[in-house]
């Protein structure tokens, strides 16, 4: 499970014939085009030959378009690393991990930022009501 803001993406990776699906739809149907390119980043970095013999099915919910796309790309990246660790060998897993981390660390490490709760004495988490002496 991979979170980005309010989006949660879960990737199921198993042996197969190279399917890439998001919520049951082919990954090529994701709009807009610029965000689709973001999803293909881990595939392009690792190489399509590594995805040839695996099926990737992703469930994503919550958040907005951009947040979902970043959750999907993180799910793909972390999922392929976990697959290679479990079913292939440690050496190829380390190579994949180094390539992904060298390009963009957010592919493997989640963004921990969350919304800070509101406190009393002001209208937000940090803002205070204006002080008046009369």
> Taking each helix axis from N to C terminus, what angle separates 65-87 and 33-46, rounded to the nearest 10 degrees?
20
pLDDT tens per residue, range 52-78: 889 999 999 998 888 899 999 999 999
Report d(CA 72, CA 128) in Å as an integer.
38
pTM over 0.95? The answer is no
């Amino acid at each position: 499970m991979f979170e980005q803001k309010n989006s949660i993406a879960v990737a199921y990776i198993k042996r197969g014939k190279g399917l890439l699906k998001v919520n049951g739809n082919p990954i090529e149907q994701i709009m807009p085009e610029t965000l689709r390119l973001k999803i293909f980043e881990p595939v392009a970095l690792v190489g399509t030959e590594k995805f040839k013999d695996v099926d990737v099915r992703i469930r994503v919910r919550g958040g907005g378009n951009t947040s979902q796309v970043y959750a999907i790309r993180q799910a793909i990246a972390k999922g392929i690393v976990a697959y290679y660790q479990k079913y292939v060998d440690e050496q190829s897993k380390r190579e994949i991990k180094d390539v992904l981390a060298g390009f963009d660390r957010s592919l493997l490490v989640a963004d921990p930022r969350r919304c800070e709760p509101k406190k009393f004495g002001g209208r937000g988490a940090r803002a205070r009501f204006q002080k008046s002496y009369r």
